[in-house]
Amino acid sequence: LPEDFQTRMTVDKKYPMVLDGFTRLNDAQVQSFYSNKLGEPLKTTSDIGRFTLFYNVAGHPLRISVYQRGEWTEVSAMVSAASDM
């Protein structure tokens, strides 16, 4: 997670695991951060100011949605069970 990430919600006891919060990085910086950490996404989609990065990490589908909101960027990540692929 970006250094200044502020968690708003976490669900981590069962799949799908969800993490939602904010960072002061802009949306392009967030995309670059995850590309540097996880490599190029398998797929990227965008819709009305929001984009979603799709990864597979240790056999688990990972979806990271990014939405710029003024000086803050909302980041929502969801990890699904390996069998949900």
Q: What was the pLDDT predicted at 27?
A: 93
Q: Exposed, middle or buried: residue 50 (CB in 10 Å: 0-12, 13-18, 19+)?
A: middle
Residues 6-37: tens digit of each pLDDT: 999 999 888 999 999 999 999 999 999 999 99
Give the whole-number percent of the chain exceeding pLDDT 70: 96
Instruction: Tell me if residue 9 falls in helix, strand or coil.
Output: strand
Nearest by Cα to 19 from 29, 9, 28: 9
Q: How many CB atoms lie within 10 A of CB 64?
A: 22
Is the pTM value of this prediction over 0.85?
Answer: yes
- Dihedral of the CA atoms 17, 20, 26, 32 (nearest 10)? -10
pLDDT at 46 over 70: yes
